Amino acid sequence: MRRLIAAFVVAGAAFAASVAGGFAATPVHKPSASSVTVAACHPSDDVTQRFASFNGQMHTIPGTQRMAMHFTLLERIGHGLAPFKPVALPDLKPWRRSKPGARTFIYTQRVTALRDGDSYRMRVQFRWYGANKTVLRTTTLRSRSCRQPAPLPNLTVTSITSAPATTSGQRVYSITVGNSGQGDASNVPVALKIDGQTVGGARIDLLPSQESSVVQIQGPACAFSVRAVADPDRVIPETNDSDNGLTVPCSQVGP
């Protein structure tokens, strides 16, 4: 499967509600005084257009003078149950701090150039500071995941030709299979039918995006038509499964 390797790009924006007259006394907050959510999860075939935004939000607890958050991007590579692992991004190292006296602190962290087929979530550490920079409380939360789907292939049989085989009454059929999709395809089976009967098959180990490959299958000389189908059992996810086959009259496949 194709895997685009790109540098992550991060950007953030902070919002804070400052102390103002007329506010009620600050209540005692439970752990729900902090949260992290997926604000946006935008997939795209163009790696430069992919992004995920995560919102960290926290409210004061009694004695709070200032609040701070630290963001760590977590990545799970591919499918399955692999663990999420931290991504080393220098731009995420600094702590994001509220203005002194703010009652609510919201910070939106945006990450772009996400990779094919991987999942992302954000781990956020929250800190509440009191007088003299004393740490009153710390909490660590993780967001839900944002998955970037891998681009899919699109398999098509573009031509079928044949030539006499060394065995009497047999022919060698050359089948061209193309991939017009944005993703690579691996272990692509190709089946050949002569006059409605399946006579053989072949396999393409790797068919990259926007490329084609030729396989050869030996079979009997045909009387009516030849049909070749790529991925006949539809086991490979594609953008379009309806154009995988090609049927050609015997008169057009070769002398």
**Domain boundaries along the sequence of the chain:** 9-147, 155-252
Q: Is 245 helix (H, G, I), strand (E, B) or coil?
A: strand
Write out pLDDT tens, residues 153-169: 999 999 999 999 988 88
Task: Write out the two tokens for 31.
Answer: 């752990």
* CA quadruple 38, 42, 48, 52: dihedral, nearest 10: 0
- What is the third-level CATH fold of 9-147? Immunoglobulin-like (2.60.40)
**Helix (H) or strand (E) segment spanning residue 72:** strand 66-76
What pLDDT is attached to residue 20? 28
Query: What single DSSP character describes residue 76?
Result: E
What pLDDT is attached to residue 149? 81
Q: Look at the pTM and tell me if it is higher than 0.85.
A: no
- What is the third-level CATH fold of 155-252? Immunoglobulin-like (2.60.40)
**Helix (H) or strand (E) segment spanning residue 137:** strand 135-142
With a pLDDT cut of 90, the percent of the chain lying above it is 69
Write out pLDDT tens, residues 92-148: 889 999 999 999 999 999 999 888 889 999 999 999 999 999 999 999 999 999 998
Contact 72, 126 (CB under 8 A): no
Which has the higher per-residue pLDDT, 216 or 25? 216
Query: Pick from 178, 170, 172: which is nearest to 214 by CA?
Result: 178
9-147 and 155-252: identical CATH topology: yes
